């Protein structure tokens, strides 16, 4: 079976400027559960710190 990265790389949809491909999320996320993470990353961005939970395209996700 092809890896997600291999499929993504050859997928013609990735090159379309009017299409945004988002990741599959295996569970429902409640806003109350992620609010702290969002606020933390926002503060990190404002202060120039590295963000948590970044997309790592070289790893295929």
pLDDT per residue rounded down to tens, the chain (61 residues): 456 555 666 567 777 788 777 776 767 888 888 899 989 999 999 999 999 988 887 877 6
10 assigned to some structural domain: no
pTM: 0.49
Number of structural domains found in the chain: 1
41 assigned to some structural domain: yes
Contact (Cβ atoms closer than 8 angstroms) between residue 40 and residue 52: yes
Query: CB atoms < 10 A from the CB of 59, how many?
Result: 8
Residue 39: which domain range? 24-52
């Amino acid at each position: 079976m092809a890896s997600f990265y291999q499929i993504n790389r050859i997928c013609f949809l990735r090159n379309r400027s009017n299409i945004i491909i988002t990741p599959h999320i295996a569970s429902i996320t409640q806003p109350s559960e992620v609010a702290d993470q969002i606020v933390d990353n926002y503060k990190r961005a404002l202060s120039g710190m590295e963000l948590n939970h970044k997309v790592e395209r070289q790893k295929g996700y």
